[in-house]
Amino acid sequence: MRRTVLLAAGLFACALAQAGVRLDDSLSPRQRVEATTRFLYEGVGNWNADQVSALVAQVRGMEFRLRTAPYVGKNAEIYLTVADHVSGLKSPTAMRLEWTTRGRFAPGSLVPGTRALVYRGKITDAVMSDFFDFTIYLDARDWERGLEFDPVFEIDVVP
C-alpha cells in the first residue's frame, strides 16, 4: 500500500482552543512536500490489528523561520501545533507527528488538536529558525485519502 501524504508549511491558518498567538512564518521557504508511506511493520510476523494498520512517512529538512521581533527580550514558550481536523483522517488520533531538530528547537511529538513545547526561554533574536525532520505515523484504518496538514507555531509570553 503506497499513498501520498502532503505536509504544507505556512499555507493555512489553524486555530486551536488552547492557542497562543500565531507566529508569522512568512520568511520560511514555501514547502509543499509529498511523502510516501510504508508499513511500519514489514515482512512476515504475528502482527496484531494495530501493527498491520501502522503506516509511517518521513519528511526531512523542513526549514521554519519565525518572526519573533515583537518578543525580543521577553521570556516565552513556543509551541508547534496541528489543527484537530486533518483532511483525509476520520479521527485525529489516527495520526501522530514526531520530530527532531537540528539546533535551536526541542524535539517532540503531538497528535492533531494538541500542541507541543519546542522552545522555552528568553527571545533574543528577531527571527528564530531551525530545520525539522518529521516522522508521521498513521493508522490506515482511519485514513480515507491523501492527507494534508499545516504545522503552525504559537507563542505565549511567560513571566
pLDDT at 5: 52
What are the 10-residue block averages of pLDDT along the chain, 159 residues in total? 46 44 91 82 83 91 96 98 89 92 96 96 97 94 82 95
CA–CA gap between residue 136 and residue 140 (Å, rounded): 12
Strands 4-9, 143-149: pairing kind: parallel
pLDDT at 19: 58
Sheet holding 95-101, edge to edge: 38-39, 54-67, 127-139, 95-101, 108-110
pLDDT at 60: 92
Sheet holding 143-149, edge to edge: 31-36, 4-9, 143-149, 87-89
pLDDT at 15: 36
